[in-house]
């Protein structure tokens, strides 16, 4: 407390003990007050910046409080809901912002999702704010379809929460990697089976693979992000042509390694990219890792793996510092695990697969 008081004297931001709460991580502490500050007992919560914080079951407590708050606001709005269109508008305006505010800090549990969906149906058809299940003769899918598609236009809470989660994740992944990013990554991808410490892997997780083990919060987020970022599948003819061009390019190219910089010179033009890159894809591409990336394949049509290129460290594409020096000359830094590296033919197959899969670089431009 001496540090807190000293900070208040220097900055003018003084702590008010009567408006503060002390939380002991040691559950055996039974004090009701310490240094003039009330002690929050174990299992209790207190409201802070719109959330309930403490040592209790925070996810359940916050979502229960959020649903009760929505019910109170909808009860006031029932007299304004004179038509189905008005009720849909009121539901979207009242419910969506508050739900997304809570979902920004706490994942939406199944029971809360079910109660919110029941509340939407009860208010829409019966002018009620109950969360009990009800039977309606209308197709549920029609409720959450946009009006342009002939639906009612009711906002789907599950889709909105996943969209917000994806948006926040992409924003974190493309920003500068500092201590805050490290802390966020450790929390967002907690208990993940495959760590994303060396970059993002846009691999789709099949339904069979999901069912073999318990899905952790980190696995669930990887499945969501990977499904959105996974590259589109191409026809066998286009894949066959891509592999032949890449094989011809690697056989005719020359490469050297000097002072830790690997340079490659191609005798043929690079194959045309499989698809047009959007500005968003180009901005996100450097955050991918070179290994286990379905968007980067070698002349055999398979992904690059650390098992095959075991002397190269797994890292993001940005950490390779890929640069186009001349029209047909590229340079990059290859992070090796020891002082030994692969032979030049193998490095050419590896490096050209990455260069050909990346967005087109102008002369003098680097991937960043």
Q: For residue 63, count other CB atoms closer than 10 A to its CB.
A: 23
Compute how many other C-beta atoms are within 10 angstroms of the C-beta atom of residue 229: 21
At residue 113, does pLDDT exceed 50?
yes
CB 299 within 8 A of CB 348: no
- Under the banding of pLDDT at 50, 70 and 90, the label for residue 61 is very high
Would you place residue 275 in the very low, low, confident or very high pLDDT band (cuts 50, 70, 90)? low
Q: Tell me the three state secondary structure of residue 203.
A: coil
Q: What is the pTM of this model?
A: 0.68
What are 6-24's pLDDT values in tens digits?
888 888 888 888 788 888 8
Q: Is the pLDDT of residue 346 over 80?
A: yes
Over the stretch 236-257, which tens digit does the pLDDT of each residue have? 656 677 788 888 888 888 999 9
Look at 137-141, 352-356, 361-365 and tell me which has the smallest mean pLDDT.
Answer: 137-141
Q: Does the pLDDT of residue 364 top 70, yes or no?
A: yes
What are the φ and ψ backbone dihedral angles of 166, each rounded to 5 degrees?
Answer: -65, -40
Would you call 299 helix, strand, or coil by DSSP? coil
* 197 pLDDT above the threshold of 80: no
83, 113, 230, 258 from 143: Cα distances, Å = 15, 16, 29, 63
In a 13 Å sphere around the CA of 85, the CA atoms on its Cβ side amount to 1
213, pLDDT greater than 60: no
């Amino acid at each position: 407390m001496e540090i807190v008081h000293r900070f208040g004297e220097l900055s003018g931001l003084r702590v008010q003990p009567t408006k503060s709460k002390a939380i002991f991580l040691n559950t055996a502490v039974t004090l009701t007050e310490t240094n003039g500050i009330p002690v929050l007992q174990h299992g209790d919560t207190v409201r802070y910046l719109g959330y309930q914080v403490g040592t209790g079951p925070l996810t359940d407590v916050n979502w229960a409080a959020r649903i009760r708050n929505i019910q109170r606001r909808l009860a006031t709005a029932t007299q304004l809901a004179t038509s189905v269109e008005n009720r849909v508008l009121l539901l979207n305006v009242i419910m969506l912002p508050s739900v997304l505010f809570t979902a920004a800090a706490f994942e939406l549990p199944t029971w809360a999702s079910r109660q919110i969906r029941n509340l939407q149906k009860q208010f829409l058809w019966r002018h009620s704010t109950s969360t009990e299940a009800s039977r309606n003769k209308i197709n549920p899918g029609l409720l959450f379809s946009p009006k342009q598609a002939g639906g009612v236009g009711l906002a789907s809470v599950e889709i909105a929460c996943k969209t917000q989660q994806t948006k926040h994740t992409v924003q974190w992944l493309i920003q500068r990697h500092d201590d805050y990013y490290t802390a966020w990554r450790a929390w967002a991808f907690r208990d993940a089976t495959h760590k994303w410490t060396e970059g993002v892997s846009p691999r789709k997780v099949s339904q069979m693979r999901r069912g073999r083990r318990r899905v952790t919060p980190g696995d669930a987020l990887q499945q969501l992000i990977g499904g959105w970022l996974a590259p589109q599948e191409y026809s066998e003819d286009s894949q066959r042509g891509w592999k032949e061009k890449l094989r011809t390019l690697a056989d005719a190219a020359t490469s050297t390694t000097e002072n830790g910089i690997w340079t490659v010179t191609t005798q043929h033009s690079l194959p045309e990219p499989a698809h047009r890159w959007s500005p968003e894809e180009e901005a996100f591409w450097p955050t991918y890792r070179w290994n286990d990336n379905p968007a980067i394949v070698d002349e055999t049509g398979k992904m690059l793996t650390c098992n095959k290129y075991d002397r190269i460290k797994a890292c993001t594409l940005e950490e390779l510092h890929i640069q186009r020096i001349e029209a047909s000359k590229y340079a990059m830094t290859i992070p090796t695990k020891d002082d030994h590296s692969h032979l030049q033919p193998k490095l050419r197959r590896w490096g050209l697969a990455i260069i050909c899969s990346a967005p087109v670089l102008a002369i003098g431009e680097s991937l960043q």
